[in-house]
Amino acid sequence: MTRTSDETSDETSDRSAEVMANAPIISVENVSRWFGEVAALDGVTLDVRTGEVLAVLGENGAGKTTLMRILGGLDAPNGGRVLLRGEPYEPRSPKDAVHAGIALVHQHFALVPTMTAAENILLFRSDPERRCSRAEAARQLAAEAAELGFTVDPNAIVGELSVGEQQRLELLRALDASPDVLLLDEPTAVLTDDEATALLNVVRRLAVEQNKAVILITHRLREVTAAADRVVVLRTGKVVSPEAAVGDRSPADLAAEMVGSEVASIHRDDPTPGDVVLDVRNLSAGKVRDASLEVRRGELVGVAGVDGNGQVELELAICGLLEAEEGTITLEGDSLIGVHPRRRIRMGVAYLPSDRYARALVGPMSCEENLRLGRTQWRLTPDPDGATSMLSQWTVKGDRSHSAGSLSGGNAQKLVAAREFGQDTKLLVACQPTRGLDPGAAGMVRQASIDFARDGGAVLFVSADLDEILETADRLYVASDGHFHGPFNRPFDRARIGRIMAGVDEPPPEGASATVGAVPAAEPPAGSGST
């Protein structure tokens, strides 16, 4: 996936004239979409051409997903118009969009977890003439996956697939309709670097080799350089910069355009660790096998690893949502085994889960009500001004009375962060806390986590983004096949940690710290990490 700036510039120059000579397949003309008094889109104008990948950037709540919903037939504009192949385009449903040759890959999976991969493909086929047997659908799915270089088991139950496999299946489902236009809303948000690389290589091929038009929404700026031809930036529902070739802007420039100012860098001092706060010893729970780790007061301990290697089970066991089969979990010496999640809150545990919708938010409830969830003292003494202040501090684009379900993914994550960081706690368990956040918001979460530790708290920070872990962690463990290897101390050996994550290098002896052969982590580009 990775192209150097020179390669990007040369390739863009070579293809620019050819692509720009094409008439736009989609023209968005002065489109606006209002929700009450809030403008999700405000006079947006842009063109998309066949044979190109157009990246649409913007901070959380900038209007990117609303634009995709309009193009995908899930929403309608209040003003302006959209042209498809030069004709007015007014879909009333996603089925209309598919029939018109436009397919949307949602940020949150639309697959049925209890069905097989092949059955999911059949389920989304709206044309009766394309219905076939499960066996034939499985054969077709395997053939299309192989053509794109994917490995997919057509007969696998979707709920048992990794998030990377589910994301590839979402793309295959969209491509099954043979669209001319592919809309990708944060397709790499839940993927590791290697998974994102493989997916975006395919996206690039679809544009270059199959002449499809692709609109790519992403917060990872390095992916813009890697996959896109042109880029447009939205801020507060407006286009704030003209469409331009990717090579014409640096990642730092794009990040500044997204948030309206230069993105602040992360500041971390060396820790002064105190007593052990969280102590996990010989824990087995689900995929977790005989895991031991500890987090001390004053430090941020990272957990790196490819999704599906036991990180979710670790967080659930610590936070009382999965029963431990063996081992112990203690908070300042007090056992957490069998302790109800609400009591853990009272004991001083704050929790940012990896799945905010399943374990942190109630969609129909208001933002203010969600801020009070599990916080008995604040629930008994309502403070509307306090709720408004917390939402403002975390730049949540939504009033305290708005439902949590109406927020964009990034704003929903910031709502959870506002609640959990706003408590007087001893331990913060932060799992994929910046997933889906723009560079500014992601940096805010990272800095808040570091500051929480430096103020005397203890932080367990779980992330599939290695750059993020290397930037924030004081020490780290590596999750691999249910085991948690380490701890590794600074300076980190990035290459070796990556190999252990992939299961191609021997981990250090159990319980031994690892610094041998270590080199400083590479400086991440502006806006890198889970953004």
Question: Which DSSP helix (H) or strand (E) runs through 245?
Answer: strand 238-245
According to the model, what pLDDT value does residue 262 have?
63
Contacts for 179 with CB less than 8 Å, ≥ 6 apart: 98, 101, 102, 103, 212
According to the model, what pLDDT value does residue 313 have?
93
Nearest to residue 41, comparing CAs of 70, 12, 20, 14? 70
| 387 phi-psi bin (left φ>0, alpha ψ -120 to 50, beta other) | alpha
Beta bridge mates, 306: none
Q: Which two tokens stand for residue 214?
A: 């692709």
Locate tokens 């957990």: which residue?
303
According to the model, what pLDDT value does residue 19 have?
67
Cβ-contact 308, 324 below 8 angstroms: no
Kindly calculate the radius of gyration of the chain based on its CA atoms and give it in whole angstroms: 23
According to the model, what pLDDT value does residue 292 have?
96
Nearest to residue 448, comparing CAs of 412, 488, 413? 413
Condensed to tens digits (0 to 9), the pLDDT of residues 372-428 reads 887 655 544 556 677 888 888 888 887 888 898 888 778 888 999 999 987 779 999
Its sign, for the CA torsion 313, 319, 325, 329, is: positive
Q: Which two tokens stand for residue 130?
A: 């394309």
Q: Which two tokens stand for residue 203?
A: 């996206």
According to the model, what pLDDT value does residue 7 have?
52
The DSSP letter of residue 132 is -
The CATH homologous superfamily to which domain 1-101+179-263 belongs is: P-loop containing nucleotide triphosphate hydrolases (3.40.50.300)
Cβ-contact 168, 145 below 8 angstroms: yes
Amino acid identity, residue 482? G
According to the model, what pLDDT value does residue 283 have?
97
Bridging pattern class, strands 288-296 and 276-285: antiparallel
Name the fold adopted by 275-348+425-531. Answer: Rossmann fold (3.40.50)
The full set of domain ranges for the chain reads 1-101+179-263, 108-178, 275-348+425-531, 364-422
Fold match flag (1-101+179-263 vs 275-348+425-531): yes
Locate tokens 């956040």: which residue?
437
Using DSSP's 3-state secondary structure scheme, residue 462 falls into strand
Name the E strands within 71-210: 79-84, 87-88, 102-105, 181-185
According to the model, what pLDDT value does residue 506 have?
64
What backbone phi and psi angles, to 5 degrees, belong to 257? -65, -35
CA dist., res. 158 & res. 64, Å (int)? 28
| 260 phi-psi bin (left φ>0, alpha ψ -120 to 50, beta other) | left
Condensed to tens digits (0 to 9), the pLDDT of residues 128-179 reads 888 899 999 999 999 988 888 887 899 999 988 877 788 889 889 999 989 9
Cβ-contact 226, 199 below 8 angstroms: no
The stretches in the chain having pLDDT less than 50 are 1-2, 5, 8, 379-380, 510-531
69, 375, 376, 389 from 380: Cα distances, Å: 39, 9, 6, 18
